[in-house]
Amino acid sequence: MRFFILLIAVFTLCSCHRSGNKGDSSVQDTVFFPDLIKVAITGETKIPDSAKVLINTDENTLQPLLQAYVKDGRFQLEGELAEPNFYNLVIQGQKFKVYLENGKSYQLVVDQYNGNQVVAAHFETNSEAMNEYYDMLQAFEQEKRKLSNKSAGLREQFDNPKTYSEAVERSGELRKERNSLYDDFKKSYIEKANTHPALKLFLMKEEQIGRANYVKYAEILETIPDSLKGISLYRVAEKKVSTVRDFYENMPDFPNIIPRNPNGDSLRLANYKDQKALLLVFWSSWNSESKDDIRQIKNQSASMAASGIKPIFLTWEKNYEDWKKASGDLGISKDSYRLNVTDANFMSEKYGVTRLPHYILVNASDLSIINHSFTYPLNGKLIEALQQRLNEL
């Protein structure tokens, strides 16, 4: 009897353990694969049978997530993917972007062949995000054509000496519009309230996040529904925004460093508290662009002094003699200082000083950062640009 009771107890424990594991497995699936989606993509094509059709991502183009083969001019791709996202359907090496999500139908329709090669295709789908993506691309192409037509319309003006200069100027303006057109489209779709949230996240993945827009994009991320906050598109966008936010909102004041100039005198930032601002110029003797800028700054030294802006030239150059000679040749020996490794690393990590020349505009009274990456104007109007930055405070 004892053996029988013991056997029942062991069986009960084993059953409970198996049942618990089964339940745990279900919980783990929920934790690790909360956004699992089932997809089915069909298509008809003239390409040869046995040709492979596959799904991959921009981040991993070598590993097919799903694949199928053409048979009798058709293919059907079915399976599960980790999350709703913009994927690539790859056929004969050609990539076709597609937003895959649960409960939607997808049929690839070939628009153009080159022989047996597919060169253009689109998806017929009931996915709102995907159709909105197509609408955006179509609107983008329409705007490109409009700009091309405007450029073509300038031909007669180029042939007329009286309108030639005006045509050159207008042509330059149109070229700038073309160059910025896609970025402008991205921004407009990201900022529109009614843009599908998945498309917003996809476009933000490509967007440059900086001081001027990180607050706006942080607010946009707050509008993304919880159902999409677990997918990688959201994580990438959130990481970009939070990294930039942390950089700017936790940016320290400029440190009270005391490097020396070629004469052996130490930098005393407290001596310039009566100035409005310090223009910190990061340069090197081997960098011709920074030396050209320094010459222009020297030429405008009187105007800068009248505006209360003091230039200070900083370098972490290893070769002491090259730095000393270049400082003398440029006439900046008194205001040229050589940073040690610790200070150079601080500038790189805290202010992003990684390429030369680099400019930081600092409030002289308290060493707070006005602009950690001041852009030297190519039009030569340095004083106006500096004054504008000071007026924005």
Domain 37-125 homologous superfamily, CATH: Immunoglobulins (2.60.40.10)
Whole-number pLDDT of residue 381: 77
**Structure-token match 């320290």, residue found:** 252
CB atoms near residue 213 (< 10 Å): 17
Which 8-state DSSP code applies to residue 243?
H
CB atoms near residue 298 (< 10 Å): 13
Taken in order 115, 116, 120, 126, is the CA torsion positive or negative?
A: positive
* Mean pLDDT along residues 52-59: 95
**Structure-token match 């003398």, residue found:** 328
**What residue spans define the domains of the chain?**
37-125, 132-249, 269-391
The string of pLDDT tens digits covering residues 250-302 is 889 999 999 999 999 999 999 999 999 999 999 999 999 999 999 999 998 89
On whether the pTM is more than 0.85, the answer is no
Considering only residues 73 and 376, tell me which one the structure prediction assigns the higher pLDDT: 73
Whole-number pLDDT of residue 121: 95
Which residues, listed in sequence order, are joined to residue 76 by a DSSP beta bridge? 42
Measure Cα distances from 125 to 84, 92, 201, 309 in Å: 15, 22, 20, 60
CB atoms near residue 8 (< 10 Å): 10
Two tokens at 241?
Answer: 């925004």
The string of pLDDT tens digits covering residues 69-125 is 999 999 999 999 999 999 999 999 999 999 999 999 999 999 999 988 999 999 999
CATH 3.30.420.240 is the classification of domain 269-391? no
Residues in the chain: 393
* Mean pLDDT along residues 203-231: 92
d(CA 356, CA 256): 22
**Which of these, 283, 285, 280, lies nearest to 269 by C-alpha position?**
280
Measure Cα distances from 258 to 16, 282, 318, 334, 364 in Å: 71, 15, 17, 14, 15
Instruction: Please say if the pLDDT value at position 20 is more than 50.
Output: no
Instruction: Please say if the pLDDT value at position 378 is more than 70.
Output: no
